[in-house]
Structure 1
Amino acid sequence: MSRVAISSGTHPVPVLEFLRRQLNGTLKEGDVTHMRYPTAISQLLGFRIVEIGEGTAVLQFEANAEIHGNQQGTVHGGLLCELADAAIGTAHSTLMQEGESFTSIDLKANFLRPVWVSTLRASACASHRGRTISHYQCEIRRNEDNKVVGTVESVVMTLRGDAAKGR
């Protein structure tokens, strides 16, 4: 269930603190943040935040080519991009203040090995944090052998004022 500050009786907290409380099970009734967590797409696909920090995030996902497959019978590369984008977005959201939002403006993926059935971990971190433009790197690894299955780089733009409204 998404908790967004919309009524009295709520306790607004910064995104990073909200996600830390959500992750460690100490989120209280009324705790809200100005962004939506968990996101709708993460709920739909079953992505879970397993680690969170300032400008960093690790998401985990149970991938299975029987459900998430492409024509070749492996997990679809677009799903790996979505997992990385979710990790990058979560990492960047930890830097957002009330009245700020963001959008991805670039994403480049490198697929290194196929996946059939695996628990995947996407680890995202900021490689450059600018006031408006930030750069992120994300590695997607298989839990069972820690091998990298893909890398993703993304550029994210922070939005403020009117540009952030409704986004």
Structure 2
Amino acid sequence: MYERVEEMIQGYIWKDLGVKVIEAVDGEVTLHMPVKTRQTQFHGNVHGGVLATLADMSMAAAVNTLVEEKEFTVTAEIKVNYLRPAAGDFLEAKGKVIKRGRTLSHCQAEVFDDSGKQVCFVVATFYMFKKE
């Protein structure tokens, strides 16, 4: 797996949510997350903020497969289109870099429930910067 993605998955949010990397190739990542009761809202569906977070994680991991050693990235903008309620035992997110730029990268993600139904579609812009 990519070194930067390996670093990312050591973060608290990844461990708290139980997110695992299923596949990571240049500019594309698939994540798996078990659904926990504490992640649901009062209707029993996965909270929209959890869906947005998982999608953001998939896109961040995808863009981090393309960075250089001293290059870093942060989410600059994100838009989430919720398509249907998410429920079930797990979620799968597929993040993809659409265009890798020098200072901005554009990404998209799709999140699916455990029956394979798409629950949201997300686009985001990531700011790229160098750090010595």
Cα-to-partner distance string for 1:101-141 (whole Å, 9 max, x where unaligned):
11110000011111222321100101111111110010001
> Does the 8 Å CA contact 2:46/2:85 hold for their aligned counterparts?
yes
Residue-pair matches, total = 132
Residue 158 of structure 1 corresponds to which residue in structure 2? 128
Letter in 2 for 1:96: V
The Cα shift of 1:152 comes to 0.8
Q: Read off the aligned partner of 2:122 and give its amino acid letter.
A: V
Q: CA deviation at 1:142?
A: 1.9
Residue 115 of structure 1 aligns to a residue in which SS?
coil
8 Å contact 1:16–1:94 — kept in the other structure?
yes
Q: Which runs of 5+ in 2 are unaligned?
A: none
Q: State which structure, 1 or 2, has the greater radius of gyration over its C-alpha atoms.
A: 1
Aligned-residue sequence identity (percent) comes to 30
Aligned to 1:135: 106
Residue 75 in 1 paired to residue 46 in 2?
A: yes
Q: Distance in 2 between matches of 1:53 and 1:76?
A: 29
Runs of 4+ in 1 over 4 A off after TM superposition: none
2:118 maps to which residue? 148
Q: How far apart, CA to CA, are the structure 2 residues paired with 1:104 and 1:18?
A: 16
TM, length-normalised to structure 2: 0.90
- Aligned 8 A contact 1:125 1:138 in 2: yes
AA partner of residue 2 (structure 2): L
Q: Supply the RMSD in Å over aligned alpha carbons.
A: 1.9
Between 1 and 2, higher relative CO (CA 8 Å, sep ≥ 6) is seen in: 2
Shift of 1:93: 0.9
Partner of 1:41: 13
8 A contact 2:88–2:114 mirrored in 1 = no
**Secondary structure of 1:121 counterpart:** strand
Per the TM alignment, residue 72 of structure 1 is displaced from its structure 2 partner at its CA by 2.7
Q: What 5-or-longer segments of structure 1 have no aligned partner?
A: 1-14, 23-34
Q: TM-score, normalised by structure 1?
A: 0.72
